[in-house]
Chains A and B, each alone.
Chain A
Amino acid sequence: MPGPAPLKEFDVKSWLYRADVKASPYLYISPFFLVFGALGVFPLLYTAWVSLHKWSLLSEQHTFVGIDNYTHLLHDSFFWNALGNTVSIWVLSTVPQLVLALLLAHILNNRLRGETIWRTGLLLPNLASVAAVAIIFGQLFGRDFGLINWVLGLAGGGHIDWHAGTATSQLAISIMIIWRWTGYNALIYLAAMQAVPDSLHEAAIIDGASSLQRLRKITIPAIRPTIIFTVIVSTIGGMQVFTEPLLFGAGSNSLTGGSDRQFQTLSLYLYEVGFGRYDFGYASATAWMMFLVIALAAIGNYLLTRRIRRAG
């Protein structure tokens, strides 16, 4: 009876083979998802659970309050103020940042002497830790002994109290963000620009197009998907700005982002509620609202840029 036994062995082997082909890829990528599940999804869901409670870190009792935290948040002037600040800092930082990045990338896309040095140099501001950048800029923008006011003084201007005003403080914070991220975005643009066929540029040059005309008519339409990508990424980043305003406001009122909360961002407000007042329920609700805002901003971005793409 030699028949069935080898057949069975063959079955097992082929089952193993099929299982291997089908299951192995999932097993290989599973570590990421397990870690993400433990450190990403679980906290996310747990935060949602906490946000439905009156939950002080210092108290034993966590009373279930339903969506009270959320309704309270919608009537919280600090929250809307922080949201407004976040949006205006985002606009102030992202628009100049991406325009500058485009111009820089366009210049570096030409043949330059020592182009590797220039290109690497672009990334240097991004390599410095955000805390270091924020501390240094905080000192540059000092009212009495800051370098910027010193230069303004030499030029005959008066000292600006950068921290006191809404516009000045948000501008200062935006400059920190622009400083850190312009080079990074320029490199991404540069990579995309290298893929634009030279023949298009050559033809335009023969037709007498200027450098700026080529940037507008050839480069930008060609790298539009990359621009959309950077806009979405900087939106997500811009909604979460935290360290810059925290350290810019160094002093006795650092958590409130200025005497009138004039530069308190959403993340900073979240931090004030969670780790200043230990009110975890309310902080969790804030975190979820922030998540919603970011998701809405990303969707809005996507729709807008898709329309632009169609129009283009």
Chain B
Amino acid sequence: MRRGHRLGAAALAVTAMLAALAACGSGGSGNGGGGSQGKTKIVIGTFGEFGYEPLYAEYEKLHPDIDIVARVTKAEDHHKNLAAHLATNQGSADIEAIEEGWIGQFKAQPDKFVNLLDLGAGDLKSQWPEWKWQTSVSKDGKQIGLGTDVGGMAMCYRTDLFKKAGLPTDRDQVSALWNDWDSYIATGKKFAAAKVPGAAFFDGPTVMYRAILGQADVGLYDTSDNVVVESNPSVRGAFDKTIEAINAGLSAKIIAWSPDWNAGFQKGSFATIACPAWMLAQIQDLAKDSAGKWDVAKIPGGTGNWGGSFLTIPKQSKHQKEAFALAKWLTSPEQQAKVFRGAGLFPSTLTLYKDPVITDFKSPFFNNAPVGKIFSDSVATMKPQYLGPKAGDINTAIINGLTRVEQGKQSPDQAWQQAVSEIKQIV
């Protein structure tokens, strides 16, 4: 029996192995049918911090037949996983959040998502500014997402450095310094003339270029998903305006999100940076000791947005109606106000921009700047700009071009030519 036993053991081991592999293959599907005790299970996939946890509990109390399951990952992983789940037609949640930077890619596949207009989203349209609503509309006119938060756009500046340079420090006076980008650069020249040691006027090309481009009616794409980088003067305009600021010696020549950039907020390497609402949280985090040194003024040009998300419903969801009801509730003004108070995400609904919850909100870290009002103003009147599928990669190519000029590798024209040819290679 001993020998037979050994043979059997080996066979058993192999079988167990195979079974384990098979189990790996069949697991992982998120769309369960009925949940526990006959409840409908709604899976919602978000990334980073949405501030939704307390709202889930509240919703479950209001709707005892609904069981909400939350899946939270990092932004990059979340969108990568979503792409894979859509490709294989299985495994996605009933509600999937999508960030603005990725929405162009995903709305290029509108058939993977429920057209929310079919579920009555059209009645909600007036809730958001026109541009926010348009951002998640596909080129064939389907609405795939309901807006959650927005980024808005303001200009953060260091009062201590402005004082050293002999510039005004009061935020209204500072806002008056730059009605447009030309006067922003002119102010920068004054700042540079004062030669404040160790400090440049702005951080580097990335943020400035994005802020200027974001204000244009047409960006990198036209509404039929054609890349118009070469033919649209706004893109070259944003590039040239940034070059102008660089050539005037105003840039700290720091690559955004690099270690030098992170340290620069704390050490005052730069006096201004265009900042969406989410960047305030980042500055507060990176430069804890600089409380009171940073303040917030209006962005040149007055409007702008960078960032913000949408709640979508993949077509593979088995509970589309229930999911829509939840998404609608989560993005309503009342809930967005709660999210703003809880997690600080800036709301995307128009009524809140007149609500004291927002308009009276001041940030102690930023010298009690009325950031609620500043960001509301920046997004309320913004023009819609169509975002195409590869906007992220195209922007990287253009920003790399600006960086090459800054690093002294190329002339602006050479950098632009290379960026254009790289974009052709990517698209």
CB <8 Å contact, B404 and A277: no
Whether A252 pairs with B86 at a CB distance below 8 angstroms is: no
Residues of B within 8 A of A278 (CB): 83, 105
A59 vs B105: C-alpha distance when bound (angstroms)? 10
Q: Is the CB of B400 within 8 A of A256?
A: yes
Cβ of B263 and Cβ of A145 under 8 Å apart?
Answer: yes
Residues on A with C-beta less than 8 A from B256 are 251-252
Question: B87 an interface residue at 8 Å Cβ cutoff?
Answer: yes
Interface residues of B in 339-386 (CB under 8 A from A): none
- Contact between A161 and B108, CB atoms less than 8 A apart: no
Asked if residues B259 and A250 are in contact (CB atoms below 8 Å), the reply is yes
Confirm or deny: A80 has a beta carbon within 8 angstroms of a beta carbon on chain B: no
Determine how close the nearest CB of chain A comes to the CB of B413; give it in whole angstroms.
16
* Residue of chain B at shortest CB distance from A19: B7
Given contacts A34-B21, A278-B83, whether A259 and B6 have CB atoms under 8 Å apart is: no
Task: Determine if B11 is an interface residue (Cβ-Cβ < 8 Å).
Answer: yes
| Residues of B near any A CB (own CB < 8 A) | 3-4, 6-7, 10-11, 13-14, 17-18, 21, 80, 83-84, 86-87, 105-106, 108-109, 111-112, 206, 252-261, 263-264, 267, 269, 390, 392-393, 396-397, 399-401, 403-404, 407, 409, 425-426
Query: Could you tell me if B7 and A31 are in contact, using CB atoms closer than 8 angstroms?
Result: no
Known contacts A59-B109, A144-B269, A253-B255; is-contact A27 B17 (Cβ 8 Å): no
Top 9 A-B residue pairs of the complex, sorted by shortest distance between their CB atoms:
A259-B403, A251-B258, A27-B10, A251-B255, A164-B407, A252-B256, A259-B400, A251-B257, A144-B260
Is the beta-carbon distance between A252 and B255 smaller than 8 angstroms? yes
Closest B residue by C-beta to A34: B17
Is A288's beta carbon under 8 Å from chain B? no
- B259 touching A142 by the CB < 8 A rule? yes
Contact B264 A31, beta carbon cutoff 8 Å = no
Given contacts A20-B6, A276-B393, contact A252 B399 (CB under 8 A): yes
- Cβ 8 A contact of A143, one of B4, B260, B392: B260
A20, A59, A161: the one contacting B7 at CB < 8 Å is A20
- Tell yes or no: A38 within 8 A of B by CB: yes
A16 x B14 contact (CB < 8 A): no
6 pairs, A vs B, C-beta closer than 8 Å: A16-B4, A31-B14, A58-B87, A253-B400, A277-B390, A278-B83
How far does the alpha carbon of A256 sit from the alpha carbon of B269 in the complex, in Å?
Answer: 25
Question: Does A292 count as interface, using CB distance less than 8 angstroms?
Answer: no
A250 to B254, CA, bound (A): 12
How far does the Cβ of B22 sit from chain A's closest Cβ, in whole Å? Answer: 10
Query: How many Å lie between the Cα of A78 and that of B418 in the bound state?
Result: 12
How near does chain B come to A70, taking the closest CB pair, in angstroms? 16
Residues of A with Cβ closer than 8 Å to B?
16-17, 19-20, 23-24, 27-28, 30-31, 34-35, 38, 57-60, 76-78, 138-139, 142-146, 161, 163-164, 250-256, 258-260, 275-278
Roughly how many angstroms separate A237 CA and B267 CA in the complex, as a whole number?
Answer: 39
Chain A residues with Cβ below 8 Å from B257 are: 250-252, 254
Neighbouring B residues of A258 by C-beta, 8 Å? 400
Say yes or no: A142 contacts B263, CB within 8 Å: yes
Residues of A within 8 A of B112 (CB): 58
Report Cα–Cα, A276/B401, bound state, in Å: 19
Residue on B with the closest CB to A250? B258
CB-defined contacts of A260 to chain B, threshold 8 Å: 400, 404, 409
- Hey, which chain B residues are within 8 Å of A20, CB to CB? 3-4, 6-7
Q: Do residues B399 and A253 form an inter-chain contact, with CB atoms below 8 A?
A: yes
Docked CA distance A258–B261 (Å): 15
A57 adjacent to B396 (CB under 8 Å):
no
Q: How far is the CB of B84 from chain A (nearest CB, A)?
A: 7
A20 to B6 Cα, complex, angstroms: 8
A19 CB contacts on chain B under 8 angstroms: 7
For the complex, what is the distance from the CA of A58 to the CA of B6, rounded to whole Å?
50
Q: Quick one: which of B10, B80, B258, B264 contacts A275, CB cutoff 8 A? A: B80
Contact call A27/B255, Cβ cutoff below 8 A: no
Min CB gap A43→B, angstroms: 13
Name the residue on B nearest A166 (C-beta). B409
With most chain A CB atoms within 10 A of its CB, the pick from B14, B111, B264 is B14
Q: Inside 8 A of B409's CB, which chain A residues have their CB?
A: 164, 259-260
Known interface pairs A27-B7, A58-B87, A144-B269. Does A255 touch B255 (Cβ–Cβ under 8 Å)?
A: no
Please name all residues of chain B whose beta carbon is closer than 8 Å to the beta carbon of A23 when the two chains form the complex: 7
Smallest beta-carbon distance A140→chain B, Å: 9
Kindly provide the distance from the CB of A283 to the nearest chain B CB, expressed in whole angstroms: 13
Q: What CA separation (Å) do A140 and B86 show in the bound complex?
A: 41
Partner of B407, one of A28, A31, A251, A259: A259
